[in-house]
Every structure is written in structure tokens, then in C-alpha cells.
Chains A and B, each alone.
Chain A
Amino acid sequence: MTMPRVVIVGAGPAGTRAALTLARYGLKPVILDEAPRQGGQIYRRPPAQGGFRRDARTLYGFEAKKAERLHRDFDEKQAAFEHRPEMLVWEIEPGRLHGYRHADNRRFSLEWEALILATGATDRVIPLPGWTKPGVYSLGGTQVALKYQGCAVGRRVAFLGSGPLLYLVAYQYAKAGGEVAGVLDTAPWSAKVAALPALAAAAPATLAKGLWYLAWLKSRRIPVVNQVRPLEVNGAERVAGIAFDTPRGSDSLVCDALAMGWGLRSESQLAELAGCRMVFDPLNRQWLPERDPDGRATGPKQIYLAGDGTGIAGADAAELAGELAALALLADRGTAVDRGRQAELRQGLARIHRFRQALETAFPYPQALAAALPNGAILCRCENVTAGELRATAQIDATELNRAKAYCRVGMGRCQGRVCGPAAAEILAAALGKPVEAVGRLRAQPPVKPIPLEPLSGEAIAEAAPPSLTFSLEGPGEENAEPRA
């Protein structure tokens, strides 16, 4: 019997559980991950070099046990799969994917028979006048600085946004000895109150943790301001403060760094390139690859989706979804899988989904805030496109995002709309007087991230049979290519 080549993209909670599940049934998957070490973003480990010494409790707080379990399970089973770190997958074609290895600046290509995409998420941000100044960071990035490097992003950091991560990261900074200027929560009070019963019913432990962080911050006399409407980032050449409105009037905080985030957005580009059907998801307000409850993609065969890359549900859900997707893959290949375990995983995911809905009610994405970005403010930080320039395209005939992109370059830069995309959709939709789903999405383009430009001599293809794969690699590139517009 020949073993199918199963490739997993992403070594976070979903990709890790998928790999371990396949290994348990005797398959030897290849895991390609962009990071140097397994763990993903939430359970990201400090670099192997340098002798970092903080323990799991310090790094991951209440989630320490889960993080340790995920790391340990992975480390103990290293021989059961092929972990290929520092590998960016930048294009997926039927039966073959293309990648780039950061470590030695080489491109590779790899055949696949079945694919599990566990590509995760990044911060969902709302641009703000002055947000390109040095010292403004995404909320998740602010956490990465501390977790991965032991650094604060500034001497005095203000936190702006909404959602559980806002309070968690502010707490982690203060606890690590950083100075927190304040927490500015944009969520309406009424929404939080309305969502309380559902949050308490669906996930009392998570709610309790959130309230605990809040109480801890208040006990340290760290200002926590509710119902904030941010106005602008103060400062000439770098962050000097944040100005905002509250129901009681205008105010500001002095700080030299600002962390901001409003939940997360899925990294769905690879699924889209692989041919998955994309559908608008009202809960996430994002176009997402469609899948069945077990993770089978709609459209292409032998593609499975798991974790936050298919809609935000968090790390616990990602572990369940990774295992469930792997079981679906096995079942589709005729392997007898544990049906009882499948039922358990489905139930677990359904429970988390109910909680996620309550969370979205408590901390709704403030689309009106995104849509109201002043005309002069930079919206797209790669191409320096202002909100006004995007709105002007609506006056010509930009009826959807890709046309607007062609006119004004919004989302055309090297991040490919990862940062400004959600806000750009809200701005264009508001300018056209349409619901956000009516303006579509920025289409995914290969390479999904910038890679060095190679000569046209072509690249080597890895043809070796599993389980011992050898990657054929091309030589170093000469200059960087930006993503195709």
C-alpha cells in the first residue's frame, strides 16, 4: 500500500492536532510552517537561540497547561511527521504547491495528494489618523513582542480596541513590569450587558478570566475607559498620545506606544488559491472558504480546512477542528475512524461556536468606526492610500473592491490587503450605500506574501516519494518581488 502524501500548512493548534491525529492512524504528514518553531501565534515559543528561560506560566498565563501539552505532544512525536519550519507556502495548484524557505533563500515545490490548511489569523485593525507613526502596533503584535522577545513595544503603552485580547495583553504588560497608560474599549456598554447571560452560559470560565483581568487592572489604578471613539494618534514623528471621545466628552492619554485590535481576521488566501468556494460570513464580516462541519472544503477534492483560517473561534476550537479534519481525511480514504470521537469533537465545536456568537454580540466589530475614517487619513499603509482616495473611486464606477484597488491601489501593496482590507471594504460599502458583502473581497493573488524574484529558468520540483521527502531547492534569488497586483 502506498502512503498518500498529506501536506499540512500551519503548525499552530489546528495543524499540530491534525498532524498528531494522522500520525496516530499511521500516516506521516508533512507540516509546512512559516515560523521557526511549532506553536502558531497564540502558543508561539521564544526563539530556540539565546537561552530564553521564562516558564509557560509566565508566557501563556491561564493557558499554560494547554500550551505545554501542545508543545510536548508535538515534540514527543517529531519522528511521526516531517516538520519543515520557515517555509512560506505562496501558491497552491491542483496536486502541487509552491513555497519559499526563508532560512536559505530558496524556493521549493511539493506534490500533494491531500491538503489540510490551518493557516490561522492576524489582527483585525481599524485605521486611525496617525496610525503609521512609529509606536503604533497591532494588539497581537504587541503580545508577540513580550512573549517572543521579552520586550514592551514602548515605555508607556495604551491599549485600544475591543475583545478579550485587549484586557489580556494589557494585563500581561502590567504584570511583566510594563507601564500601561490605559485601556480604551470601543465596545458599547449596552452590547456587553446584553451579551452577559449568553457568555455566562456558554463559557463561564472564559468570562470569569476576562472579569479577573479587568478587576486586576482596576486594582492597579490603570484607567479603563469604556465606549471610546478614537480620534487620532498624537505626536509629530512618533507616538506621543491618543485622543478620543467618550460619552462624557473628549479626552486623551499620554503614551509612546499604542496597541490596537478588534478581534482577528482569518488568513484565507491559500484556501482561495486552492480553489475553495468563498462565502460571506456575517459573524466574522469576512469572506471565508466554505467547509462542512468536519472541515471538508466545498469545491476541490482532498482539501480540508481547520482553525482560525476558516473563521475565528480561538485556539481550543482549532485543536478540535484540526483533529476532526484529519479524521474526515482518513474516513474519506476508507480508514475506519473513531466515530464516537468525531461526535465529541463536533459537539465541542458547536459549544465554542455558541460562545463565539455571544462574544461577537458583546464586542461587535465597529464597522461604523471603520467606515468613518476621515478622508485625509492613510487607510492602506503599504501604498499610502487615503480613505478619501478610496471614496473617490466610488464616485467613478468602483462598485466592488477589486475595481477600487485597480483605481487607487488600496490593498495592492506588499501586505496584499491583510491590514487595511476589512476597513477598506467597510469604507467602500458605506460610500456606495451598500451592505459590506456587496462590495466583495480583495481576491487572493500568488505569491500570497512577497518572495525573491527568480530567473525564469524554472524551479526544481520535489518528486521523492514519502515518507522520506527530499525537497529540491532552487538557488538564492536576486531581488525581491512584490505580490502581483
Chain B
Amino acid sequence: MTQPQFLRLAETDRTALAYELDGEPASALAGDTIMTAILTRRGHLRMSEFGDGARAGFCLMGACQDCWVTLGDGRRVRACSTLVSAGLVVRTVPPPIAPAAPASAAGP
């Protein structure tokens, strides 16, 4: 899945900016959506919750909700309609949910 999905055809002389993708430094162009930033380097955005493989978005206009990624502050956003900014932290794998407080004495 390392082959990028998107291909830049125009407007390639925009300023580069640095952000963080899954803990690694990454580079995008100013004005890129998170989706463009990721898919010009990778073949997918996230793994399906149902174990049926990778997803790379679908509608690109904020309707299908198939391009969710997680930001450093824990917020989930649509990669297609969120612009990447310098220093942004993006995760394609959501952080694990903190375990709930243990239930009181179990057992029948």
C-alpha cells in the first residue's frame, strides 16, 4: 500500500509545510486537505472497522464520512474537508479508548 493514490496535476508550486503523520515527520503543500496530504504519499487513509481492508475516502465533499482521521487533540475530522496546517498531528489509527473503571464485584 505504499504507492500513493492521488497524483498532483496542477498547483504544485505551493509552499511546503511540515506536519506529523502517525508519529513520523511528513510534508504537504499549503492548501492541501489532510486527504490530499496523505494520499499523495500513501494508498489509503484508514483501515475499515470491519476488518475488510483499507479505505481511502469516497465522496470528497463531507457527505460519506469515510475519510475520518484523528488529530493530536483526539478530535476526529473528515480528511477531505480539513486543511492540513504546519505542525498538525494526524493519526490514521485512532488511539485506544481508555479502559472503563472496573465494575464492582463480579460473579453470579
Judged by a CB distance under 8 angstroms, whether B66 is at the interface is: yes
Residue contact B11 to A53, C-beta cutoff 8 Å: yes
A34/B62 contact (C-beta < 8 A), A237-B54, A384-B52 known = yes
Could you tell me the dominant secondary structure of chain A's interface residues? loop
Judged by a CB distance under 8 angstroms, whether B41 is at the interface is: no
A178/B31 contact (C-beta < 8 A), A51-B14, A136-B58, A415-B65 known = no
A51/B66 contact (C-beta < 8 A), A134-B56, A176-B10, A237-B53 known = no
Binds B, one of A90-98, A141-149, A198-206, A275-283: A141-149
Question: Using a Cβ cutoff of 8 Å, how many contacts connect chains A and B?
Answer: 170
Residue contact B48 to A51, C-beta cutoff 8 Å: no
Judged by a CB distance under 8 angstroms, whether A450 is at the interface is: yes
Judged by a CB distance under 8 angstroms, whether A246 is at the interface is: no
Q: Which residues of A contact B77 (CB under 8 A)?
A: 102
Q: Which residues of B contact A151 (CB under 8 A)?
A: 6-9, 36, 39-40
The residue of chain B having its C-beta at the shortest distance from the C-beta of A49 within the complex is B31
The residue of chain B having its C-beta at the shortest distance from the C-beta of A480 within the complex is B76
Residue contact B1 to A132, C-beta cutoff 8 Å: no
Across chains A and B, which 7 residue pairs bring their CB atoms closest together, nearest first? A50-B31, A141-B60, A134-B56, A150-B11, A150-B10, A50-B30, A414-B65
The residue of chain B having its C-beta at the shortest distance from the C-beta of A105 within the complex is B75
Residue contact A415 to B11, C-beta cutoff 8 Å: no
Judged by a CB distance under 8 angstroms, whether A404 is at the interface is: no
**Looking at chain B, what size class is its interface with the partner chain?**
35 or more
A144/B61 contact (C-beta < 8 A), A46-B11, A134-B56, A151-B40 known = yes
Judged by a CB distance under 8 angstroms, whether B74 is at the interface is: yes
Residue contact A152 to B6, C-beta cutoff 8 Å: yes
What distance in Å separates the Cβ of A172 from its nearest Cβ neighbour in chain B?
10
What distance in Å separates the Cβ of A228 from its nearest Cβ neighbour in chain B?
21
A122/B63 contact (C-beta < 8 A), A49-B83, A50-B31, A237-B1 known = yes
Residue contact A145 to B8, C-beta cutoff 8 Å: no
Judged by a CB distance under 8 angstroms, whether B20 is at the interface is: no
Judged by a CB distance under 8 angstroms, whether B59 is at the interface is: yes
Within 8 A of A (CB), among B41-57: 43-45, 48, 50, 52-57
What distance in Å separates the Cβ of B10 from its nearest Cβ neighbour in chain A?
4
Residue contact B63 to A418, C-beta cutoff 8 Å: yes
CA–CA, A381 to B9, complex, Å?
29
Q: Which residues of A contact B45 (CB under 8 A)?
A: 134
Q: Interface on A for B, CB 8 Å cutoff?
A: 34-36, 41, 46-47, 49-54, 58, 102, 105, 122-123, 132-138, 140-142, 144-146, 148-155, 176-178, 237-238, 256-257, 267, 378, 381-382, 384, 413-415, 418-419, 449-450, 452, 476-480
Residue contact B7 to A479, C-beta cutoff 8 Å: no
A134/B55 contact (C-beta < 8 A), A122-B63, A151-B6, A151-B8 known = yes
Residue contact A177 to B9, C-beta cutoff 8 Å: yes
Produce 1/0 per residue, B1-42, CB < 8 A to A: 101011111111011000000000000011111001001100
A52/B31 contact (C-beta < 8 A), A41-B61, A134-B44, A414-B65 known = yes
> Would you mind naming 13 contact pairs between A and B with Cβ atoms under 8 Å apart?
A35-B81, A41-B61, A51-B15, A132-B48, A140-B61, A144-B60, A145-B36, A152-B9, A382-B66, A414-B65, A414-B68, A419-B64, A479-B74
Residue contact B9 to A135, C-beta cutoff 8 Å: no
What distance in Å separates the Cβ of B45 from its nearest Cβ neighbour in chain A?
8
Q: Which residues of B contact A136 (CB under 8 A)?
A: 58
Q: Which residues of A contact B62 (CB under 8 A)?
A: 34, 449
CA–CA, A143 to B27, complex, Å?
24
Q: Which residues of A contact B30 (CB under 8 A)?
A: 49-51
Residue contact A135 to B59, C-beta cutoff 8 Å: no
Q: Which residues of B contact A449 (CB under 8 A)?
A: 62-63, 65
A415/B5 contact (C-beta < 8 A), A134-B54, A237-B53 known = no
CA–CA, A267 to B29, complex, Å?
32
Residue contact B48 to A152, C-beta cutoff 8 Å: no
Residue contact A384 to B63, C-beta cutoff 8 Å: no
Residue contact B82 to A102, C-beta cutoff 8 Å: yes
Query: Among the interface residues A50, A54, A382, which one has the most CB atoms of the partner chain B within 10 A?
Result: A50
What distance in Å separates the Cβ of B76 from its nearest Cβ neighbour in chain A?
5
Q: Which residues of B contact A382 (CB under 8 A)?
A: 64-66
Q: Which residues of B contact A418 (CB under 8 A)?
A: 59, 63-64
CA–CA, A152 to B59, complex, Å?
14
A154/B52 contact (C-beta < 8 A), A50-B30, A51-B15, A238-B1 known = no
The residue of chain B having its C-beta at the shortest distance from the C-beta of A123 within the complex is B59
Q: Which residues of B contact A413 (CB under 8 A)?
A: 65
